[in-house]
Structure 1
Amino acid sequence: MKLNLRSLEAFRETMLSGSATAAAARMGLTQPAVSRLIAQLEQDAGFELFYREKGRLNPTPEALMIYEEVDLAFGGLERVDTLVRDIAQFNTGLLKIVAPPSLSEGVLSTIMARFMDRFPKVRVTIDSRSTETARTMVANRTADCGFVKLPLDRADISTVVLSTSETVCVLPSDHPLAAEDVLTPERLRDVPLVLLGYGTWTRRQIDDAFRERNIRPEVKLETHTVGSACAFAAQGVGVAIVNALMADNFVRAGMTTRVFRPRILHEYAFMTSALAPMNRLAAALLEEAQTYFGAQAHSAAGASNDSI
């Protein structure tokens, strides 16, 4: 036996309101239509659900027995309906993100503040893991999305390029090399350097730039975040060679940046699993990130034109 959902709704509304006429008004039906639905439910159940007394419908003991379960079932459906509307309107949800520490401590804080202003009821977690772990978390959907530095050669991850930036040298404003517009391996010969950890793609490119000119870089200190590299540079430990996009968030008063040549570009991308469609919250975050980086690129282009 399979009971009709509409008949169960008519039964519930009649129990709540006490009459088929009131139930019909609540359901947007006529009173005869509700009566037919009740009659159909009684036929399917095999027993009566109401009896009339002084012109009023009264529930039978059997109706009272099943009403509680019917009410709970419809209450669950109403909660599902509310949840669906909340999700559609971004009034609920959890977005799990993975991002490099330097990005989380810099530009991502601005992007996330704007995102959370738009969707104040959405919860967000940001996890900073090793590059390979972050990629795996996104690929297997432990995280909904992430920010990653390219290149990335994985078929199980989809990427959207967000930003391309130069490599710069960060140094104190009173450093002798601050008088230069561009710094090269030749100009940095025998100069103490602060570089990011050995073995990364960018570090290999920096090492290659020095090696191709037969110059041995004077690496004074190695670290793993752009923020710490800039902090050490500010203290005069050495000239930091880092990503310009990240450095902008850590260069303070008394510090300056100079372009490094040969050109080494840094590309950052938004990543999601290629094994499933991007969810709506991740898509909204991507839109916010594209807006932010688009404005940054436009501003940089304007500044470049003004200097010509």
Structure 2
Amino acid sequence: MDSPPLDIRQLEAFAAVMSAGSITGAARLLGRSQPAVTRHIKELEADIGYELLHRSGPRISPTQRGLQFHAQVERLLFGLKHIRARAEAIGAATLPAFEFACTSALAAGLIPDALAAVDPALLPDKIHIQSLSAEGVVQQVLSHAADFGLASLPVEHPGLEVHWIGEAPCIAALAPNDPFAQQDVVSLRDIAKRRVITMANPYRLRRRVDDAFAVAKTAPAQMIDANSSLTALALVRRGLGVAIVEPVMACALELEGVMLRPLDVEIPFLFGAISPAAHPLPPGVAALNEAVLKAAALIPGFRLHDLASADLLSDLVYGPKDHENALR
């Protein structure tokens, strides 16, 4: 027989405990009593058949299963909030809220200019922008929790509609007093002699950075990796190294204390716009998509790719097969 659905109050209690880190904090967040929150958690654990929290006196911490379960609960609760907002918009005969999921670099580098360029009559009263990992963006769009997404490549999935794919060369970010900042173009071999700051995800931009060093037959002895370009740029401002970063956020924000220079080798940053497959974009989202593409076209060295050129795009994302063999 099918199991009955989980109690939403129990899920809310668990999510609040994970956010607050304690039963006391969760009770205050929810406006419930501590005994009620404790009871909801115990009932939830009994229902699903395993512990979600380690308990050591007043201290609690999530179990490994609890961490995995929390990711699913967050997605469900966000989806319910999304449904409520849509229901309210239907009742008020207004445009439903726009839900955008973007990586932090693309959210900060493209969305503000794009939104400013869209006719306000096409925009709803509420717009939600989530900054997530590229994988998180894909999952939000696939689950229809987001109407539109911007993510670095790869974004291949049969449940996605890819509207366009762009490419722009990565750049070097340096402190103003860095000797390399006086050069018009920065050599990758020179950078390798210093501490290099770049991205951590081995399946996206970091893969192409590592490949570029391998082709140049060099590698940095010291490295700091981070999961956001903003963190990398902040490290550069403190003189902690030379960063190799995507150009979208760096060029858009123009941070004081950071100098940007082209590299002597091209390391492509690939990104694109996605939405759920077989769901036409509403007029406002379609207008935003066009505005995002116009904003992206202002990035130095930007190129728009033909979506029909599947082999070329595959080589850009994953590297040519003969190139991969040469690196082994």
> What TM-score do the two structures reach when normalised by structure 1?
0.62
SS of 1:187's partner is helix
* Match 1:182 to one of 185, 207, 215: 185
Task: Name the structure 2 match of 1:138.
Answer: 141
Gaps of 5+ in 1: 1-81, 302-308
For the residues of structure 1 that align with 2:212 and 2:294, how far apart are their CA atoms? 34
Task: Name the structure 1 match of 2:227.
Answer: 224
Residues 249-288 of structure 1 aligned to structure 2 (within 5 Å):
249-288=252-291
Task: Name the structure 2 match of 1:104.
Answer: 107
Gaps of 5+ in 2: 1-88, 304-328
Once the two structures are overlaid, the 10-residue window that deviates more, 170-179 or 212-221, is 212-221
In angstroms, what is the RMSD of aligned CA positions?
2.8
Tell me by how many angstroms 1:122 deviates: 3.2
For 1:231, give the aligned amino acid.
Answer: A
For the residues of structure 2 that align with 1:238 and 1:270, how far apart are their CA atoms? 32
For the residues of structure 1 that align with 2:252 and 2:300, how far apart are their CA atoms? 18
**1:178-210 per-position Cα deviation (integer Å, ceiling 9, x unaligned):** 122222331123211111114132111111111
For the residues of structure 2 that align with 1:142 and 1:110, how far apart are their CA atoms? 23
For the residues of structure 1 that align with 2:247 and 2:184, how far apart are their CA atoms? 15
Q: 1:200 to 1:261 in 2, by over 3 A?
A: farther
Aligned residues: 215
Larger radius of gyration: 1
Task: Name the structure 1 match of 2:212.
Answer: 209
**1:274-304 per-position Cα deviation (integer Å, ceiling 9, x unaligned):** 133223332122132234334x269989xxx
For the residues of structure 1 that align with 2:283 and 2:277, how far apart are their CA atoms? 15
SS of 2:189's partner is coil
Would the aligned equivalents of 2:148 and 2:274 in 1 still touch at CA under 8 Å?
A: yes
Tell me by how many angstroms 1:116 deviates: 7.2
**1:89-143 per-position Cα deviation (integer Å, ceiling 9, x unaligned):** xx52211110011222333122223337344543111112232232122123121
For 2:184, give the aligned amino acid.
Answer: D
Q: 1:158 to 1:261 in 2, by over 3 A?
A: farther
Would the aligned equivalents of 2:175 and 2:259 in 1 still touch at CA under 8 Å?
A: yes
* Match 1:157 to one of 157, 160, 183: 160
SS of 1:231's partner is helix
Q: 1:107 to 1:287 in 2, by over 3 A?
A: closer
Task: Name the structure 1 match of 2:236.
Answer: 233
Q: Which runs of 4+ in 1 moved over 4 A?
A: 297-301
> What TM-score do the two structures reach when normalised by structure 2?
0.58
For 2:269, give the aligned amino acid.
Answer: H
For the residues of structure 2 that align with 1:187 and 1:116, how far apart are their CA atoms? 47
Task: Name the structure 1 match of 2:151.
Answer: 148
* Match 2:196 to one of 175, 184, 193: 193
Would the aligned equivalents of 2:196 and 2:223 in 1 still touch at CA under 8 Å?
A: yes
Would the aligned equivalents of 1:230 and 1:251 in 2 still touch at CA under 8 Å?
A: no
For the residues of structure 2 that align with 1:97 and 1:236, how far apart are their CA atoms? 34
